[in-house]
Amino acid sequence: MTDDPYKNLKISKGAVVKPRTSLVNKTGSWRSERPVVDHEKCVACGNCEKFCPDMAIKETEEGKFEVDLDYCKGCGICAEECPVKAIIMKEEEK
Amino acid sequence: MAKMMTGYDAVAEAVKACDPDVIPAYPITPQTDIVERISEMVADGELTSEYVRVDSEFNAASTALGASAAGARTFTATCSQGLKLMSEPLFSASGMRLPLVLAIANRSLSAPLSIWGDHTDTFAERDGGMIQFYAEDVQEAMDNIAMAYRVAEDEEISLPALSCLDGFILTHVQEKVEPFSRKEIREFLPERSPVHTLDPSDPKTMGAYARPEHWTETRYEVHQAQLKAKDKIAEAVEEFANIFDREYGLGYNGLLETYRAEDADVLLVALGSVCGTMKYIVDEYRQRGEKIGIVRPRVYRPFPTEELCEVLEDAEAIAVVEKDISLGYQGGLAIDIKSALYSNGSRIPILNFIVGLAGRDVKKDNIKNIVEQTKELRGKLPEDIEFGKEERWEPLRTELLEDDKK
Ligand code: SF4
Ligand code: SF4
């Protein structure tokens, strides 16, 4: 894990901070369902990446769309927006 | 040279002299004429500001916030429901320490729908960290714009400021005013030098997420900046008097003005244009040798605690006359004045009169009734007023109420 940039953070006027400090806030733990991409079905249209409110879907170098589970909150928008139903939401298990 | 001007013209002229970089605008009665007048100035090339016609007040305040974050001087105007819609980005602007100046043509809030004036809209924004100025006349509405810029953009303050003028009563009335020019304003109002600016070559995050271990301290800093703004307002009115030869509460750090208050045993406290009518009545009482006076806060946030305590402490009875009500308790100004005075050891009885809601005229007889009821309390103590009877409606037309509510 990266060093916590919030540790001993001094507050500047207006609480202006360097970018990317929020990367330590792993919002993936909020998820109750996870998106699973079926790469056979996927036509690489990029809709899921565009619509994800957390920018948790990225295109890999091989042109595949993968979910970053560290940050995906499991909202299901990607599954809703996929035109070929290549994403299903699967319940998280403890 | 003095000119006859409406309040909206005067505010637009003040904005022109202050020369903002970005002016997002959305209309709402009775503010519309301010941004309409400004749009004409931009169209005629008198003003080179970026005029952005946005699709809502939320967008207007957000655009102003964004422009301010990029280092721009901004202006917008609104009132009533429009201010409600701006409320969310305005709270953010104070937390992000971004100066914005807004003219608010004070108007009541729905429901019932009303287009007329009172102070319900800006009192509802009390806790948002915005500085709030209230003008008594058109000249002051104009001058407060310049002062609002100076204080809001001060590096140590960096907060949004609302420059309030009573809807219709001041926006649409013509009065004789001394306009100021851009050249004169340059002497009074320095160029903005922003603390942080949005700049792609030096990226930074503004308005970021704060965890519980940091949020309190950012709020504390906004509070400190609000308190510090009192000193800055004091400096601003002094400098303003030097340059423009117009004085605003110099003896009280620019935070309040008084009228025949020095030896008064009954003091009326009110914001804005109603003080004009009150002065007339006070003069009548004074002619008969009765010691009545007026205290008019020019600034509601930061609250002029020390100045109010100083000016009110020798009164025998006080009436707080206001155009708002914190439903379920009392008028906001009265609540704050009681808190300031009573925690300072004062034992002066205070009545709270709710007047002029949604444009109901505050007539001479209303003011006389207020003075008469307050006079009766001279020599008494706060506890002599029956609890729950401190707040009175002047007038309340009980004949309009259903029988069981009278
Ligand atoms: S479930 Fe929501 S957060 Fe997760 S990848 Fe899909 S759109 Fe993004
Ligand atoms: S929206 Fe569906 S088809 Fe398009 S890239 Fe994402 S998973 Fe593939």
The rounded radius of gyration (Å) of the Cα atoms in chain B is 21
CB of A44 closer than 6 A to ligand 2? yes
CB of A37 closer than 6 A to ligand 1? no
- CA-closest candidate to residue B333, choices B378, B252, B391: B391
The two beta strands, B256-259 and B292-297, are antiparallel
Burial per residue of B274-296, b for 16 or more beta-carbon CB atoms within 10 angstroms, e otherwise:
bbebbbebbeebeeeeebbbbbb
Residue of minimum CA distance from atom 4 in ligand 1: A72
- CA-closest candidate to residue B319, choices B351, B281, B341: B351
Whole-angstrom distance, CA of residue B149 vs CA of residue B375: 40
Query: Which residue is it, tokens 């009065």?
Result: B175
Cβ contact (<8 Å) for B208 and A21? yes
Q: What is the pLDDT of residues A29-39, one digit of tens each?
A: 999 999 999 99
A39 in any annotated domain: yes
Atom of ligand 2 nearest to the CA of A37: 7
Chain centre distance of CA B200: 36
CATH of the domain at A84: 3.30.70.20
- B195 vs A13, A21, A25: nearest CB: A13
Whole-angstrom distance, CA of residue B334 vs CA of residue B74: 33
pLDDT > 70? residue A71:
yes
Compute, in angstroms, the gap from residue A49 CA to the centroid of ligand 1: 9
Beta bridge partners of B4: B176
Residue of minimum CA distance from atom 3 in ligand 2: A42
- Residue spans of chain B under pLDDT 70: none
Separation in Å, CA of A27 to nearest CA in chain B: 13
- B211 vs A6, A13, A14: nearest CB: A6
A56 in any annotated domain: yes
Residue of minimum CA distance from atom 4 in ligand 2: A45
Atom of ligand 2 nearest to the CA of A46: 5
Compute, in angstroms, the gap from residue A25 CA to the centroid of ligand 2: 26
CB atoms closer than 10 angstroms to residue B226: 18
Domains of chain B: 3-244 (3.40.50.970), 258-393 (3.40.50.920)
- CA-closest candidate to residue B164, choices B237, B233, B234, B102: B102
Whole-angstrom distance, CA of residue A37 vs CA of residue B65: 39
- CA-closest candidate to residue B161, choices B125, B131, B126, B123: B131
Identify which of A67, A71, A90 to mutate to test ligand 1's pocket (most ligand atoms within 8 A of the CB): A67
Residue of minimum CA distance from atom 3 in ligand 1: A72
A57 in any annotated domain: yes
Q: What is the pLDDT of residues B86-134, one digit of tens each?
A: 999 999 999 999 999 999 999 999 999 999 999 999 999 999 999 999 9
Q: Note down the domain range covering A83.
A: 26-91
A7 in any annotated domain: no
Whole-angstrom distance, CA of residue A74 vs CA of residue A58: 15
Q: Find all residues with CB under 8 Å of B277, minimum gap 6, and list them.
A: B362, B363, B364, B367
How is residue A56 written in tokens? 């948790």
Whole-angstrom distance, CA of residue B359 vs CA of residue B171: 13
Compute, in angstroms, the gap from residue B329 CA to the centroid of ligand 2: 56
Query: Could you give the ipTM of this predicted complex?
Result: 0.71
pTM: 0.92
Whole-angstrom distance, CA of residue B383 vs CA of residue B2: 50
Closest-CA residue of chain B to A11: B218
A1 in any annotated domain: no
DSSP string, A21-48: GGGG--GGGG-SEEEEE-TTT-----HH
Domain count, chain A: 1
Q: What is the pLDDT of residues A46-56, one digit of tens each?
A: 999 999 999 99
- CA-closest candidate to residue B77, choices B128, B7, B140: B7
Chain centre distance of CA A71: 4
A2 pLDDT tier (thresholds 50, 70, 90): low
CB atoms closer than 10 angstroms to residue A57: 23
Inter-chain contacts counted by CB atoms under 8 A, chains A and B: 54
A70 in any annotated domain: yes
Whole-angstrom distance, CA of residue B386 vs CA of residue B405: 20
Compute, in angstroms, the gap from residue A21 CA to the centroid of ligand 1: 21
Contact B33, B10 (CB under 8 A): no
Beta bridge partners of A34: A90
Q: Which stretches does DSSP call E strand in B225-291?
A: 256-259, 266-269
Contacts of A25 in chain B (CB under 8 A): 209
Q: At CA B145, angle to CA B144 and CA B149, rounded to 5? A: 110
Atom of ligand 1 nearest to the CA of A68: 5
Q: C-alpha distances in angstroms, B276 versus B138, B259, B282, B290?
A: 12, 10, 10, 19
- A14 vs B98, B213, B217: nearest CB: B98
A53 in any annotated domain: yes
Whole-angstrom distance, CA of residue B154 vs CA of residue B143: 17
A42 in any annotated domain: yes
Query: Which residue is it, tokens 């909202």?
Result: A75
Question: Can you give the pLDDT at residue A12?
Answer: 84
